[in-house]
Amino acid sequence: MTVTTPGGDSSQPWAGLASGYERARAREDSLDRIVEWPAQRELLGEVTGRSVLDLGCGNGGKLAALIRDGAASGVGVDISGNFIVDPPPGLELIRADISGLESVPGLAGRRFDRILFLQSFGYAEDPVRTLQSARAMLAEDGFILLTRTQPIRYAVERAEQNGTSLGEEYFATDSFSYRHGSWNDQISLTKRPYTMADLLNVFSAAGLWIETTVEPQLSEEARQRFPHKQAWMNKYLGILMFKLRPLPGASAAGR
């Protein structure tokens, strides 16, 4: 099955991908468990008493962990609706599209100390508009934590598949079809290529500045335990993580 959302990566396929994604994420050697979530958690820092909005939250498990760590409240938004069955008190999970945050009733008039886009931002139809809407929901001194796959990762993979060069694929502009074998090899996502310049320019256009950027790697212990994952990282680099804050004086569109 291949479904394309105009302007953005495909989102409807997530109805079929969500359970496979969560199963893969739960494996003891998943990159989310051994690299991404530990690094995301470290960048979030102390969450006691904080309100957290997780956009493209998956099953909401990361928000539940933040509530256990002391966050006062959490709201998760995901298009798949494949949520944990027994969310802890203080956690709300809403089935909705991150491309239309202004019209999600459960978010109207609310402000959050931390807003997360963890491997979900690429699915927004209009990335600048979605980030502007998120920016408008930030409480005083709040920040956005956004993680996205290194664009070079897809360029390396497509260069191998197509017998082309890294540069040709990195600077290509046509959408491409992508299947993740360990999630569900029957369902394709349609992805829009992006360069580092594209990504950084979206942040500026949305009135945000980058306080910190992290390119997380395996710990020494994880390298020893999971050499196949280190080999994957050596080839594809992994993900980028950005802590973003509103540019003072930039106008916040949306809400």
Ligand X SMILES: C[S@@+](CC[C@H](N)C(=O)[O-])C[C@H]1O[C@@H](n2cnc3c(N)ncnc32)[C@H](O)[C@@H]1O
> Per CB under 6 A, which of residues 52..91 are in contact with ligand X?
56-58, 77-80
Residue 21 contacts ligand X per CB under 6 A: yes
Place of tokens 């003891």: 28
Nearer to ligand X among residue 136 and residue 250 (C-beta) = 136
CB of 205 to ligand X, least distance (A): 19
Q: Should residue 118 be labelled a site residue for ligand X when binding is judged by CB under 6 A? A: yes
Give the nearest distance from C-beta 120 to ligand X in angstroms. 4
Q: How far is the CB of 148 from ligand X (least distance, A)?
A: 10
Please identify, using beta-carbon distances, which residue of 190 and 217 lies nearer to ligand X: 190
Which amino acid is present at 204?
A: S
The one among 34, 97, 131, 144 contacting ligand X by CB under 6 A: 97
Q: What is the largest CA-CA distance in the chain?
A: 52
Supply 223's token pair.
């390298």
- Pick the piece of the chain touching ligand X (CB under 6 A) from 97-105, 138-146, 148-156, 203-211: 97-105
Q: Whole-number minimum distance, CB 121 to ligand X, in Å?
A: 9
- In whole angstroms, give the CA distance from residue 157 to residue 114: 33
Q: Which of 112, 119, 5, 129 is nearest to 58 (CA)?
A: 119
Least distance from ligand X to the Cβ atom of residue 79, Å: 4
Query: Under rule CB under 6 A, how many of the chain's residues touch ligand X?
Result: 20
Cβ proximity to ligand X: between 167 and 188 the closer is 188
What DSSP state is assigned to residue 239? E
Angle at 37 between CA 214 and CA 149, to 5 degrees: 55
Is 25 near ligand X (CB under 6 A)?
yes
Q: H helices of 101-241, where?
A: 127-136, 151-162, 166-170, 181-184, 196-205, 220-225, 227-236
Helix intervals (H) in the chain:
14-26, 31, 37-44, 61-68, 127-136, 151-162, 166-170, 181-184, 196-205, 220-225, 227-236
Of 21 and 112, the one with the shorter C-beta distance to ligand X is: 21
Binding flag, residue 114, ligand X (CB under 6 A): no
- Using CA atoms, how far residue 217 sits from 39, 118, 132, 223, 243, in Å, is 9, 16, 30, 9, 17
- The residue written with tokens 């959050």 in the block is 112
From 102-110, 115-123, 148-156, 212-220, give the range in contact with ligand X by CB under 6 A: 115-123
Pick from 4, 51, 99, 188 the residue near ligand X by CB under 6 A: 99
Question: Which spans of this chain sit near ligand X (rule: CB under 6 A)?
Answer: 11, 14, 18, 21, 25, 32, 56-58, 77-80, 97-99, 118-120, 123
